[in-house]
Amino acid sequence: MNFIAMDFETANAKPYSACSLALVMVRNSQIVGEYYTLIKPETDFFWRNIQIHGIHPRDVATAPKFPTVWEQIQQYYNENSLIVAHNAPFDNGVLKGTLAYYGLEQPPFLSLCTARSSRKLYPEFPNHRLNTMCEQLKIPLLNHHDALEDSRACAQILLRQEDEFGVAPLKKLVTVQ
């Protein structure tokens, strides 16, 4: 499988408040690269999200704004790209909201949600949150809500699903964004 696992953390509930982003690149079912950055969001406040991910305004004070980040990563988003996230509607929504906020064009890409695939493939699990999936599948998740840790875990979940079930049931869950 070839895909990119993506995870955003946000400053607040606004869909353009991305404050960190991680990508994990997978080629031929092997992790071959990682990207992580803090992002300075265009927001006046960090809400209780600080309690979730631990990122404070001071941490992003000198971080790049999203347009600079987008210049570095937009190459990964095209009609042939499979972008994977655990709870993809959230992460895809942050990407779309942030692109729209800055007037940047929304690229077409393929999307797969590992929370959704987990619900289909592991109905016996007590729930399908990222930390639960990692615990059930014995995938390391050292610092949940760290974007890079979460992206790594997401990639590992999909690779495990490919190994256990093959690609056929996963292909049925791919959507176009």
Question: Which residues on neighbouring strands pair with residue 8, listed in sequence order?
Answer: 21
Query: Where do the DSSP E strands lie in the chain?
Result: 3-10, 18-27, 30-38, 82-85, 110-113, 175-176
- CATH code of the domain containing 134: 3.30.420.10
Model's pTM, two decimal places?
0.95
State the pLDDT at residue 2.
Answer: 97
Give me the number of domains the chain comprises: 1
- Pairing status of strand 3-10 against strand 18-27: antiparallel
State the pLDDT at residue 54.
Answer: 82
Q: Average model confidence (pLDDT) for the chain? A: 95
- pLDDT tens for each residue of 23-32: 999 999 999 9
Integer Cα distance of 43 and 115 in angstroms: 29
Query: In this model, does residue 44 exceed pLDDT 80?
Result: no
- Structural domain including 72 reads 3-176
